[in-house]
Amino acid sequence: MDVASIRLTELSSCAGCAAKLGAAELRRVMESVSPATNDRVLVGYGGSDDAGVYLLREDLALVQTVDFFTPIVDDPYDFGRIAATNAFSDVYAMGGTPISALNIVAFPEDLDLAILARILEGGAAVARSAGVAVVGGHTIKDAEPKYGMAVSGLVDPNRIVTNAGALAGDALVLTKPLGTGVLTTARKRGAIADGDLVEAVNWMTTLNDRACEAMLAAGAHAATDVTGFGLLGHADNMARASSVRLLFNASAVPFMPRVLELIEAGMVPGGTRHNAETHDAFTTFSNSLPDAVRVGLSDAQTSGGLLISVAPENVDRLTNDLQESGALAAVIGQVREGAGIHVD
């Protein structure tokens, strides 16, 4: 088999974090499940946070998360890098430091194992750069290839950042541009070339470690990473958990090149369309907002940035630190009293 000729995205029905079960559907399922918990669980799944946190001792807690998905790009090595970066992001979003990981693999029997080796090499490369030890994993046979990691990290119990602490008056800061779902879908459909994905791949393989350091230094009140539910979906989780209303300035939200143009051309992932339909229930939009922007705000991201809620007096410190680290630092909205989301 000519490994280089295999297009991994053609083997999957939906790509990356767009493969997630919808937020509304997941919420209904979990409402019917009695949680297995105890008094050492500091953060469980009740608030739709990015990871769970378990108290080990008074000054130390364990952060745990798992994330895996189908190929979002054709290159196996890049797929592995993106999946690992995405899995570590949940720990960073909580203010923690990932320390170990387990590989999760589903792989077709008739696909060359050299492809799997390259996927795992990509994941290992990101783990090394993050200082994370890959200590094992689990594989199963599956018609669709899938890869990701179960990740453990550490956090100071007094410095946990959840999505539940946003306060009225806070500013909302985003650390990566939007559009990975649209761009990767356009590539899968042959509407753009591999070169048009370079920036998206660079962002998807950029760790959120420096953004985590910056938000901790700025005393962030709340944070979440932006992945499969799109900016508005993850913002809704923050608004619900914090009992606040979030206001977004659409003109300040950064999109990767060509994203809005491609949305207008119909290059919209199924997961993004589903998100947009769901988000209409809790979002009000300015009448002048272009349809492409409305859809883009719901685009299913993979390995996206952090959405951070920070006190107004600490915005400059946060944005300066982010810029010095090479991250994006877009002030895209504000927190207000009330409920729901509004986009101007």
Mind telling me the catalytic residues? Answer: 17
In single-letter form, the type of residue at position 111 comes to L
| Euclidean distance between CA atoms 57 and 65, whole angstroms | 19
**Closest to 255 measured CA to CA, from 176, 178, 181:** 178
For 333, the 3-state DSSP assignment is strand
Contact yes or no for 183/257 (Cβ under 8 A): no
DSSP assignments along 232-290, one per residue: HHHHHHHHHHHT-EEEE-GGGS-B-TTHHHHHHTT---HHHHHHHHHHTTTEEE-TTS-
DSSP assignments along 288-320, one per residue: TS-HHHHHHTT---SS--EEEEE-GGGHHHHHH
| Euclidean distance between CA atoms 192 and 32, whole angstroms | 43
Alpha helices, H only, 37-164? 76-93, 113-130
| Euclidean distance between CA atoms 10 and 185, whole angstroms | 11
Contact yes or no for 141/108 (Cβ under 8 A): yes
Contact yes or no for 320/153 (Cβ under 8 A): no
